[in-house]
Amino acid sequence: MLKILLFVSAFFLPYNPLTAQSADYTVADTNRINQFLETAKAYIVKPGEQAADLDKALSLVQEAMLLSTAIPYDKGQGNALRLLAQVYREKGDLERGKTFLQRAIAVFTRNKDWKALGESYLALSRNYDLTGQELQKRIQLVRKAQLIFQGKSPKHEADCLKELGDLHQSMGDYNQALNELKQALTLYQSVHYRQLQGVYGLLGATSASAGDLKEGIRYGLLAIQTGETLNDSTLQMSTLYNQLGISYYELKEYVKADTYFRRALTIAGKHHDANTVHVLALNITNSLLRLNQPKKALVFLRDITERYAPINIDNRVRVMASFVTIYGTLKPYSLGQRYCNQLVTLVTRHELGEELQRVAYLSLIKFYFATKQYALAQKYLKAHRAIAEQTQLRAGLMISHLWAFRLDSAQGNYLSAITQYQQFKALGDSLVDESKSRQINQLEIRFETEKKNKDIKLKEKNIQLLVKQSQIQQAQLQQATFTRNITLTGVALLCAIVGLLYKGYRLKQKSNQQLQAQQTVIHQKNTALQQLLERQNKLLQEKEWLMKEVHHRVKNNLQVVMSLLNVQSAYQENPAAVGAIRYMQQRMQAISLIHQRLYQSENVAAVDMAGYVPEFINYLKRVFDVDHQIVFDLRIDPIQLNVNQAVPLSLLLNEAITNAIKYAFPNQQEAQINLTLKRIEPKSILLSVADNGVGLPPDFDVSETNSLGFSLMEGFCQQLDGHFTVENDNGVNISVVFAEEELIIKEV
C-alpha cells in the first residue's frame, strides 16, 4: 500500500524545489510555514489598517520565523523577514522595517534567489522618504533591484525602470526620467504586457513638467485610451485623468481641464478616497476661477465638503486653501479673511509636506495680495520661494518670481519688479527652449529621414533606367540573331521532316511492343500492392484493438488505485491527509475518464472534450454534493484533443473547479461557475473557468503566491505550453490559452 501511494505521488505531483533544498524538513513543514505567512499577509493587506490585525499578522510571522529557523528553512526565513518589515512599516516603525529587510537580503543573497532578492530591494526602497538624501538612497536601492532583474525578467526590470522614472520626475530630473520610462515601455511591449496606462501616464506627466505639453497630452490620451480599453476602474484611472487635466490647464484650455478633473473625481468618489477627492476639488476650483465662475466654484466646493468631510490635516489644508482662493476673488473679503486665518493656524501648528506647504502659501499670497496686505503676502512668498529653491522645481520658482513682480509693482518697487519679471521670463524661456530643442531634433530627424528616402528613390530610378536600356539592347540583339537563324532553321526543318516521318513510323511499332510489356508488369504490381494493403489493414485492426486494450487496462488500473486510496482514507484520522487523498482521487478520476472515453471511442487517439467535460463536471458535483447549490454554465465547442493535451487540461480543470467550489462561495446563495472551452483561432484554444464568488485579495499576485492549487495549474499550463492568467473581477476568472497540437484521426 505504501509503495503504491509513493508511486502515485511521484507521478502526479510536480517537482518542488523545497524538497531538494534540505533533508532536514518535509513538505508538510514547509506547507505549514507557508500557510502561516499567507494568513499573515491577508491580515496585513486587510482594509482599514486595524492595530489588532497587524498584531495577529505579527504573531503568525513570528511563529513561521521560529519554525523556519528550527528546521532550518532559509526561504521561509527570508519570506518571514520580509513580512515582518511590512508589518512594522504599517505600524510606522520604518527603521525596524529596514533592519528586517536587510536581513532578508542577506538570506536571499546567500541562497542566490534573485527574484526574492530584487523584490526585497524594492521593498527596502519604500522605507525611505521622497526628499533629500532619503530620495537618493531610494533611487540607489531601486537601481540595484533593476540590475538584478536585468536579463532575467523583462517585466520586473520594466517595473523598476518605471519607478526610477517616477522618482527622477519627482526630483525634477526630467531627461533622466523620460529615458527610464521609455526603456520601461520598450520592455513591457517586448513581453506583450498590455496594462501600459501607468507608464503612459508617467510619460505624459513628465513631458508636461519638462515643458513639452503637446507630448504630455499625447501620452496622457494614450494612457486613458489604454485604461478604458482594458476596462480599468481602479484609482489609477483617477490619477491619469487628473494628470491630463493638469496638462490642459497649463495650456490654458480650462474647459477641457475641468472635464478631465471631474472624470477623475467620479472615480475617486466611487473608491471613497477622500484624499484624492480633496486634491481634485482644489484643481476643479482653480479651473472654475480661470473660467471666471467663482460662485459656481463656491457652490461646488461646499457640496464636496458636505459629502466628503476633511478627516485629516492634509484634507483640511486643501479645503481651506480652496476657500481662501475663491474668496480672494469674491467680494467682500470678510468671509475669506476668516478662512485665511484658519489656514494660517493650520500651517503654523502642523508640520506639512513640501507640496502641501506650496499649496497653502500660494493661496495665502493670492488672498493677501487681493486684500492689499502686502507685508503678509511677502512673508509667505519668501516661504514659498524657499521651498521651490530647496526642491529645485522650476515651475515653483517661476510662480515665486511672478508674484514677486506683482507685489513689487503694486508697492512701487519698479526696479525690483523688472528684475523679478526678467527672472520669471528667463525660467519660462528655458522650459520653452528645451521643448523647442526637442522639436527641432525631431524635425532634423524627419528631414534626414526624408532626404535618405529621396536618395534611395533616385537610386532606384537610375537602376530601373539602366535595366530598361539593357533590356532594349538585348531585345535588338535577339532580333538580329533570330533573323539570321530563321533561314538556316527553315532549310534544316525541311530535311528533318522527311527523316522524322520515317523514324516516327519505326518508333510507333516499337512503342506498341513496349506498351504491351509495361501493361503486363503493371498488372503484376497491382496484384502485389492489393495483397500488401490487405495485410496492412489487418495489422492496423490489430493495432487499434491493442490500443483499446491498453486504454481499458490503464482505466482499470487507475480504478484499482482509487479504490486503494479510498480504503486508505478510511483509516486516516487527519482531515488534511483525507483531503489530500480525495484530491488525488479526483485527479486520477479525471485521467480515468479520458482512458474510458478512448476505449469506448472509434478513434483511440482523440478525446472528444464536448462529451468528456460534462461527464467530469457531473462527477465533481457528486463528489462535493453541490448539484443544487451551484449552477454550472458549460459552453463547450466540439473539440478533439490528443491524450498529451487532454490529460494536463483535465487536471488543470479539476484544480480550477475544485478551488471555486471550496473557496469561492463561503456564504453566497446564488453561486455560479461558468466554464468555456472554445477555439479562438484556427490553432488556438481557450479554457476559461469563472465564478461570481468572493474573489481574491486586491493585491493578489499569482507569481508571488505559494498556493499549491495555483502552482499545479501553472505546471499543467506549462505542459500545454500555454499562457496562464488569473483575473479578479467580481469573482475569479482563470483562463488558459494554448496551441492545439496536430491530431491525426484514423478511421477504422
| pLDDT of the residue at 141 | 92
Cis peptide before 614 (omega within 30 of 0): no
Question: Which set of grid coordinates corresponds to residue 21?
Answer: 533544498
pLDDT digits (tens, 9 = 90+) for 315-367: 888 888 888 888 888 877 888 888 889 888 988 888 887 778 888 888 889 88
Pairwise CA distance, residues 179 & 186, whole Å: 11
Q: Where is 670: in which H helix or E strand?
A: none
Secondary structure letter of residue 682 according to DSSP: T
Q: Does residue 359 fall inside a structural domain?
A: no
pLDDT digits (tens, 9 = 90+) for 51-77: 888 888 888 888 888 888 888 888 888
Tell me which residue range forms the domain holding 694. Answer: 599-739
String of b and e for 192-216 (b: at least 16 CB within 10 Å)?
ebeebbbbbbbbbbbbbbbbbbebb
Question: Which set of grid coordinates corresponds to residue 453?
Answer: 528616402
Pair type for strands 640-641 and 684-691 = unpaired
Q: Where is 446: in which H helix or E strand?
A: helix 414-570
Q: Does residue 586 fall inside a structural domain?
A: no
pLDDT digits (tens, 9 = 90+) for 154-212: 999 999 999 999 999 888 788 999 999 999 999 999 999 999 999 999 999 898 888 78
- State the pTM of this model: 0.50
Secondary structure letter of residue 627 according to DSSP: T
Q: Does residue 682 fall inside a structural domain?
A: yes
Q: Does residue 624 fall inside a structural domain?
A: yes
pLDDT digits (tens, 9 = 90+) for 708-731: 788 888 888 999 899 999 988 889
Pairwise CA distance, residues 195 & 184, whole Å: 12
pLDDT digits (tens, 9 = 90+) for 289-319: 889 998 898 899 889 888 888 878 888 888 8
Q: Does residue 245 fall inside a structural domain?
A: no
Write out the E strands in 393-504.
Answer: none
Helix, strand, or coil (residue 594): helix
| pLDDT of the residue at 265 | 92
| pLDDT of the residue at 451 | 42
Residues paired with 735 in a beta bridge: 688, 725
Q: Does residue 659 fall inside a structural domain?
A: yes
Are the C-beta atoms of residues 135 and 128 closer than 8 Å to each other? yes
Q: Work out the number of other CB atoms within 10 angstroms of the CB of residue 702.
A: 15
Q: Does residue 656 fall inside a structural domain?
A: yes
Question: Which set of grid coordinates corresponds to residue 729?
Answer: 473581477
Are the C-beta atoms of residues 260 and 284 closer than 8 Å to each other? no
| Number of structural domains in the chain | 1
| Confidence category of residue 448, pLDDT binned at 50, 70, 90 | very low
| pLDDT of the residue at 281 | 86
Question: Which set of grid coordinates corresponds to residue 645?
Answer: 493535451
The distance in angstroms from the start CA to the end CA of the chain is 40
CATH code, 631 = 3.30.565.10
String of b and e for 532-543 (b: at least 16 CB within 10 Å)?
eeeeeeeeeeee
Q: Does residue 31 fall inside a structural domain?
A: no
